[in-house]
Amino acid sequence: MNFIVETLQMILLTIYYHIEAFIKLFIPPKLKDLSGEIVLITGAGSGIGRLMAIEFAALDVSLVLWDINEDGLKETARQAKEKGGSRIYYFQCDCSDRAVVYRVADQVKREIGDVTILINNAGIVNGKKFMDTPDALIEKTIRVNSVSHFWTYKAFLPAMIAKNHGHLVSVASSAGLIGVNGLADYCASKFAAVGFAESVALELIAEGKDGVKTTIVCPYFINTGMFDGCGTKWPRLLPILDPDYVAKKIMKGILTDQVYIFLPRTLYFLLAVKCIVPFKQSVNLGMYFGAFSFMDAFKGREKKQN
């Protein structure tokens, strides 16, 4: 194809996709049927992972729960069963350890089957300034929050590609879109998670595997205990998010094949502004929204961090 033809095609598709997106604003999206799917959630022992497990428990799925905290897994499994889940399996797994991920993944494939919905949700935060953070904690944060996704994809994506069926979900963070004072290693890990998920999504499109869907979730601080002590300067613009609300939004996003989920919607505006304003103005806006003081009173989950 020559330049003129490809340019005209690009313009026509641009118009079409914008019209399509506008129409979808007024048409409720169709929910897909998850009956028979095998859903694996990492970091399922608490927080959003547990809440998502409970959401999935009401559906006709096989639910596979991973976490390093076995007691937390047992509690999640118990609550999921109370909500109607009948096929629930849990495995203690340190997602930061590649060998452990591969070993437990092989066990899941032997005993349960090929995972068709993979939700990378496990995450940690230390909340220290970069120069105050021990090297071991930096490495741990990167391994858990981003590198672990490499190993879970390697383990479960081949079967999805072979069948051209599946769904990859990355629960990242707004800190994977915009840098935050006091969260250098955490932001780095979440930027990596977002970039990795986007790149694999493009690889799937290039290979014609449109049956394997992808969803990237970037929420602001969630009231799960992970960011205990953190505040927000303007709660009407950037509220601390309710965990149940976030879990339901993620669930709806999966059921409707939503590619990006940014919570709250203010993030769409902030991300767009970040790309067009001068750097000094972005710093000014950061000060206005309180980004320089989010972590001042950080406590986090003390037991988890220790």
Active site residues: 186
Contacts of 244 (CB under 8 A, 6+ apart): 51
Tokens of 163: 């069948």
Q: From the CA atom positions of the chain, what is the Rg in Å?
A: 20
Full strand arrangement of the beta sheet holding 260-263: 88-92, 62-67, 38-42, 117-120, 166-171, 212-219, 260-263
CB atoms within 10 A of CB 93: 27
Cross-strand partners of 170? 120, 216
Task: Of 60, 190, 203, give the one whose Cα is nearest residue 120.
Answer: 190
Cross-strand partners of 262? 218
Pairwise CA distance, residues 240 & 238, whole Å: 7
For the chain, give the longest Cα–Cα distance: 62
Rounded (5°) CA angle 29-32-36: 170
**Residue 135: alpha-carbon gap to chain centroid:** 25
Specify whether the backbone of 46 is left (phi greater than 0), alpha (psi in -120 to 50) or beta: beta
Contacts of 98 (CB under 8 A, 6+ apart): 147, 151
Pairwise CA distance, residues 244 & 47, whole Å: 9
